[in-house]
Amino acid sequence: NAGVTQTPKFQVLKTGQSMTLQCAQDMNHEYMSWYRQDPGMGLRLIHYSVGAGITDQGEVPNGYNVSRSTTEDFPLRLLSAAPSQTSVYFCASSKYQGASSPLHFGNGTRLTVT
């Protein structure tokens, strides 16, 4: 099993460009989430999903969109990239929602917006 797979690993965008960060899991997990981590800081929740067709906002949702059309995939879209979105993005999944089961993390996408 691959676990949680994120692509790409690295990305450089110009201000105003849009892109989609891909996340896929093969563990049949219902719960998926996106976090961003800025240097020297903890993770901040962007969006999460408790199942296919259901998404909700986290702590810092502005500038990001998500959708969950299948159990396996949870892409994160940056609508119009800004330098403040320079960060490392982590996708995670768990069997159950919230903190009731461990999160499995991908290896992250390092995004730079110039």
Partner 1 sequence: SQQGEEDPQALSIQEGENATMNCSYKTSINNLQWYRQNSGRGLVHLILIRSNEREKHSGRLRVTLDTSKKSSSLLITASRAADTASYFCATDEDSSYKLIFGSGTRLLVRP
What residues make contact with partner 1 under the rule CB under 8 A? 4, 31, 33, 35, 41-45, 48, 50, 56, 58-59, 90, 92, 97-108
Residue closer to partner 1 (CB basis): 31 or 113: 31
Tokens of 77: 């879209």
Residue closer to partner 1 (CB basis): 17 or 37: 37
Q: What is the CA radius of gyration of the chain?
A: 13
Residue closer to partner 1 (CB basis): 19 or 50: 50
Residue 12: CB minimum distance to partner 1, A: 17
Residue 39: CB minimum distance to partner 1, A: 11
Main-chain dihedrals φ then ψ at residue 85, nearest 5 degrees? -90, 5
CA of 55: how far to CAs of 34, 65, 70, in Å? 11, 10, 12
For residue 3, the SS3 value is coil
Residue closer to partner 1 (CB basis): 44 or 72: 44
Main-chain dihedrals φ then ψ at residue 76, nearest 5 degrees? -115, 125
